[in-house]
Amino acid sequence: MATITRLLRVQTSCVRLFHTTSVVQARAAVAMSRYEPDQKIKYAKLEENISIVKNRLQRPLTLSEKIVYGHLDDPHNQDIVRGESYLRLRPDRVAMQDATAQMAMLQFISSGLPKVAVPSTIHCDHLIQAQVGGEADLARAKDINSEVYNFLQTAGAKYGVGFWKPGSGIIHQIILENYAFPGVLLIGTDSHTPNGGGLGGICVGVGGADAVDVMADIPWELKCPKVIGVKLTGKLSGWTSPKDVILKVADILTVKGGTGAIIEYHGPGVDSISCTGMGTICNMGAEIGATTSVFPYNSRMKDYLIATSRQDIADAASDMQQHLVPDEGAEYDELITIDLDQLKPALNGPFTPDLYNPCSEIKANAEKNGWPLEVKVGLIGSCTNSSYEDMGRAAHICQQAKDKGLKAKSAFTITPGSEQVRATIERDGYAQTFRDVGGMVLANACGPCIGQWDRKDVAMGEKNTIVTSYNRNFTGRNDANPATHAFVTSPDVVTAMVFAGQLGFNPEVDYLEAADGSKFKFEAPTGDELPAKGFDPGEDTYQHPPQEGSNVSVDVDPKSQRLQLLEPFDTWHGKDLEDMAVLIKVKGKCTTDHISMAGPWLKYRGHLDNISNNMLIGAINIENEQANKIKNRLTNDYGAVPDVARNYKANSLNWVVVGDENYGEGSSREHAALEPRHLGGRAIIVKSFARIHETNLKKQGLLPLTFNDPSDYDKIQPDDKISITGLKDFTPGKPLACVIKHSNGSSESIQLNHTFNQGQIEWFQAGSALNRMKKLQ
């Protein structure tokens, strides 16, 4: 009887699967985007895979699980354990921004493959420096970056990659407007790729080597994420904005609390948030270490799809809605509840995006901690907060100030997220309102958010405060000045503060003085979620790759200072790594900005040797508590970190880096892994890693290792010699041994853990993932 029951269950499952799939196939002709009419959304495959996995697991699924497991390469046999299994996935598409696309495309060229296997795009947004205003800054960028833009444009044409020209906008806004859709699995070579979760997709930031795998039709590997649920109740109102949701989540989880997990928002409060507002929340989820963040499909997403000329996708997603929301009874590894009725506007910072300060407390906190109260500059926009709705709410505040005869007391910059948003806010008068109160509208690009800011108003080292609607505020992030105190908040709060000129201004309760001497208080900002007249697309800035690109020439000048073809890294010599130097023992926070700074270094992102001159120059050396000053153990002289590393490499001395918690948090830039490998590094030994950086290190043939006992960090001294043993028996789940030889002749052994699976061990043995790929061709 049990056997018959089992057979009946299988039969019923098969009938149901056949029926639902046939319905999906009837609407399977929906294109992924208007730019790729021949590339279809694979909702039928998604539904089929979800059914297979649900029948296997016999439990309700979260939305995150539906989308991730729905893209499994082998849903029948894939081991699925949250936080343990390595999943092999088939993403729908790849997106690359121009700073990371250079190295990604150089690696793809090295692979020897003729064309990308999945829809892929390059977006020119990172190389435009903010100086005097949008038009002039864009023209200057096109001139000084012409070599790089030409390389990316021709490489895209040759290998089948769409190219968004400089001025088109920030990658994540372009994706939201054109490529993201409910249920998509998209990987992007930028840590804020999760922005697409605002449209119900699983969009994950990765390094360029991961992008190369997907473009080469190799299944993408991801450790099965845990799922943290965030239940939203109540609704947003007044001065409280979507940004305040993620500021509070960062306060709760901290910068590493989301590591290895997807943040899944749900609950009745979701419907009070616009689609672009959901994108804001998902975008900044990168700052808590999350793999990505996602919202369930709802009417706000449908409205946005229709407004961006994707009615067909909206209809298909609506038909698929049961698969684009979590199942009833789905369980989360952790559950957070936030009452939006009780949430208040806040600012996070300085120097870290998880230091929470409600507007009602910021003045007292600043006075207690000695943070400068004068706001020197207020900056709104960036990939996090540059939607039409964001611009409209900020313009409403500016109009109120203008009506009272006020101009901004602080410098005030505005960055539209895309050419479409720029053109629309120009047409609808928002841009002029910003200019009328003293604002400067910058180019449609990342600009000051990533350090592309030619700042002149303060001297380097001068203590000052800025407030931004950005997502990240590490030391020196925006202007390379380590004394700049940067606070991240909503565009609403930034805009209000530029008229007060003071960090302690609370727009909910505080008054300003009008030009006539009267007192007034800002009304809570309002703004249309979507433009009543529809979006103005502005200038057409997209270049589609030709049908046949094999004859396109992609040239890299051997004398170029901006671009350099890659040479394969050396393979493992088959022995233990013995008597390695400690290049630097890092004290405290060490983000990818500390390891490989952006700003002026962005111009070398396509030239590995040149950009390696910035390796770890921002990290603090525990030996002297200084940056970029370490002792050369061969000469006993002090020098810059890259210089000492080059000297060790020239003398065949392998080296390691020793670090603290959440090492490598922040950007997805794989240069932070490529540079140590290029300059002779062999292992990075820390208390814990940020997800993307750990993967990037593995991809480049390095050993990312963690102390079995975090207190062992204290045992290693800067002048020690480090040996890593057990590499001949390197296997998944088996720790490696580390022998520490002290300068006094004594030694001690500790245990180092790793998260390598067998395939990743083969990357190490081959010298890199790219070496392994080429070996298998």
- Residue among 71, 126, 678, 772 flagged as catalytic: 126
Catalytic residue among 192, 266, 607, 669: 669
Task: Give me the torsion for CA of 19, 20, 23, 25, rounded to 10°.
Answer: -100
The answer to whether 723 and 580 have CB atoms below 8 angstroms apart is yes
β-strands 638-639, 736-741 pairing: unpaired
Q: Are 439 and 347 in contact (CB under 8 A)?
A: no
Cα–Cα dist 99/3, whole Å: 59
Assess whether 667 carries a catalytic annotation: yes
Dist. CA 569–CA 698, nearest whole Å = 13
Name the catalytic one among 51, 274, 612, 667: 667
Q: Does residue 106 contact residue 157 with C-beta atoms inside 8 Å?
A: no
* Owner of token pair 């407004």: 307
User: Strands 626-627 and 620-621, how do they pair?
Assistant: antiparallel
Strand, coil or helix: what is 270? helix
CB atoms within 10 A of CB 48: 18
Q: Which two tokens stand for residue 615?
A: 């390796």
**3-state class (DSSP) for residue 51:** helix
- Residue 516 annotated among the catalytic residues of the structure: no
Does residue 493 contact residue 410 with C-beta atoms inside 8 Å?
no
User: Does the annotation count 669 as an active-site position?
Assistant: yes
Cα gap 698→691, rounded to integer Å: 11
Phi, psi of 80 (to 5 degrees): -130, 100
Catalytic residue of the set 90, 300, 455, 472: 472
User: What residues have CB less than 8 Å from 256, skipping those under 6 apart?
Assistant: 288, 289, 661, 662, 665, 688, 690
Q: Which of 775, 766, 663, 769 is nearest to 214 (CA)?
A: 769
Main-chain dihedrals φ then ψ at residue 185, nearest 5 degrees: -115, 110
User: For residues 36 and 121, what is the distance between their CA atoms, to the nearest angstrom?
Assistant: 11
Rounded Cα distance between 191 and 48, Å, is 30
Nearest C-alpha neighbor of 479 from the set 456, 508, 502, 445: 456
Name the catalytic one among 190, 251, 390, 428: 190
How far is it, in rounded angstroms, from Cα 558 to Cα 565? Answer: 8
What's the count of helices (H) and strands (E) in the chain, helices before strands?
A: 24, 32
Q: Which residues contact 596 (CB under 8 A, 6 or more apart)?
A: 611, 614, 615, 669, 671, 672, 675
Of the residues 92, 98, 125, 720, which is catalytic? 125
| Residue 660 is among the residues annotated as catalytic for this protein | no
Q: Are 328 and 60 in contact (CB under 8 A)?
A: yes
Distance separating the N- and C-terminal Cα atoms of the chain = 51
Active-site residues: which are they?
125-126, 190, 472, 667, 669
